[in-house]
Amino acid sequence: MCTIGLLKIEGIFYSLKNIIKKKNTFDEVIGMGKKVGFFLIIIISVYLNFNTLAKTMISKNYNETKLLMPKMYFVNEGYIYYVSENDGLIYKVRVDGKDKKQITKDRVFTDGMLLSGMIMDGKFIYYINESDKNRLYRINRDGTGKICIAKRSLDISDGFYLLNGYIYYFSGFNFFKISIDGKEMKLTYREREICQMYFNSFKKILYNNYIYFLQRDGIYKIKIDGTNKCKVVSGGIYDFKVVNSSVFYINEKDLCLYKDGKKIVNNRILKDTGYEWIGNFDISNEYIYYTNADDDMKIYKMKIDTKEKSIIGVKAASFKVNGNIYYIDSVDRTGLYNTDLNGKKNYEIAKGQLLYIYEVDNDLIFYSTYPEDENDFYLGRCFVVQKNGKTAFELN
């Protein structure tokens, strides 16, 4: 299985809590920076794009197809529901930072990464209960009606997912399927095919009735009914997106951007600072936005069909496009900024020792800052700020 909390290299498992903090720690473990760098950037890219993956995903052609995956927070009806990095409990807080309330008394399993945590669907929250042998629980959003829905202990490195109203999880080297009230169901061969792909992949995207999976040797896709499995891209891939049935990705060999196997940007997207990787790409309204590591991490944009390029100009370590461009400057990492799509209007939203932007969700920006304790997880403390910069607070 593809472990998220643990990284398996040459038959040995290493804790990501420790090795992801500094690249040279990887080098000490492995003694070979390139091999380690691949897995490091895979984990970071998944971490920074997990919101894109973990939201409710509806297939465009089949409205009944819904895929949900665990994450550390969900936004619903003016509240943020989240797993606290301090005590592992689930809380809710208003989007303005007020009216914080505790939902669970149980510790939710989390290895400090946003890919673990909980799933929220409708009125229910599903979570791995670390206080009860990592069994799967369900609770109402208001904190009532807690029940255990899976008696087996889950393989915590793989977690679980919800597809079309059924929950799939991995335990004791086997796949299992249950209803949302805990009734065990028989897995079909095709459902096992999807489980096999899911629990062996770093990133998943649902698009037009297919699920795309990022694995160690490339990108695969399989139909939502478990048929038509095929390999889309071969080789090491750092991150990918699917737009209009085309696959855009960063190639591990040269760090350039590709579309369906053809290079479309000759510049490196990512930069190795010596202790971390910075940079990313995003796609919005027929334009690709990307950081140019060969031009001091400036953001560029390119029209997908004509390949016409222009320079936004701002320098970014991490950014997201959502109406405007929201970015963390790559110079000193002390400011979170908002600029228009041409880089003309630019103003500061938040300050701090900043790391990465996780997501822009409607009027909210989720981002991370450096941890207070250097022994804490490298990708830092989770904050949220309104787009207008009025309210910023930590999800703790």
Query: Has residue 134 been placed in a domain?
Result: no
Is residue 243 predicted with pLDDT exceeding 90?
Answer: yes
In a domain, 74, yes or no: no
Q: Which tens digit of pLDDT belongs to each residue from 43-52?
A: 555 555 554 4
Give pTM, 2 decimals: 0.86
Asked if residue 157 is part of any domain, the answer here is no
- Residue at 17 is within a domain: no
Confidence of residue 4 (pLDDT cuts 50, 70, 90): very low
pLDDT at 276: 80
Domain that residue 333 falls in: 273-396
User: Does any domain span residue 174?
Assistant: no
Residue 358 near residue 369, CB atoms below 8 Å: no
What is the mean pLDDT of the segment spanning 12-20? Answer: 39
pLDDT at 5: 40
In total, how many domains does the chain have?
1
Residue 291 maps to a domain = yes
Closest CA to 345 of 325, 328, 318, 361: 325
Q: Does the residue 382 lie in any domain?
A: yes
pLDDT in tens, 352-362: 999 999 999 98
Residue 271 has pLDDT above 90, yes or no: yes
Per-residue pLDDT reduced to its tens digit, 139-191: 999 999 999 999 999 987 778 999 999 999 999 999 999 999 999 999 999 99
Residue 222, in any domain of the structure = no
Average pLDDT of the segment spanning 27-44: 46
pLDDT of residue 100: 98
CATH number of the domain within which 352 lies: 2.120.10.30
Instruction: Encode pLDDT of 306-341 as tens digits.
Output: 999 999 999 999 999 999 999 999 988 999 999 999
Predicted pLDDT of residue 370: 86
pLDDT at residue 202, as a whole number:
87
pLDDT digits (tens, 9 = 90+) for 93-143: 999 999 999 999 999 987 655 556 799 999 999 999 999 999 999 999 999
